[in-house]
Amino acid sequence: EDQVTQSPEALRLQEGESSSLNCSYTVSGLRGLFWYRQDPGKGPEFLFTLYSAGEEKEKERLKATLTKKESFLHITAPKPEDSATYLCAFTNSGYSTLTFGKGTMLLVSP
């Protein structure tokens, strides 16, 4: 069964302390790997889509990478406004709908 697991469940960082969030997947024919950000009380906000191993995408302090088994969301020198839950999701080659992981809750303290 296709599935995705995110770790850690929660992460607390000091402002400026870089780290990475992990998304491990088991998918029979990955089509796309997606990252979303969700603030409390709001809907998920699209960040990145990755399609093939070795692909990288960046946006401000965030960089997403993809291997054949995992995706990482690297956060460089985070700020308190980066605090949110980060969700990973995938689609498979059968044009399935998005399947989401349970998310990593990130808290960045000043």
Partner 1 sequence: NAGVTQTPKFQVLKTGQSMTLQCAQDMNHNSMYWYRQDPGMGLRLIYYSASEGTTDKGEVPNGYNVSRLNKREFSLRLESAAPSQTSVYFCASSLDRQQETQYFGPGTRLLVL
Map the footprint of partner 1 across residues 13-32, applying CB under 8 A.
Answer: 31-32
User: For residue 11, what are the β-bridge partners?
Assistant: 106
Shortest spacing between CB 65 and partner 1, in angstroms? 18
Among 23, 44, 71, 82, binds partner 1 (CB under 8 A): 44
49: contact with partner 1 by CB under 8 A: yes
The answer to whether the beta carbons of residues 68 and 60 sit under 8 Å apart is no
Query: What residues does 57 pair with on adjacent strands?
Result: 64
Q: How many CA atoms lie within 13 A of 65 on its CB side?
A: 8
Q: Is 34 in the site for partner 1 (CB under 8 A)?
A: yes
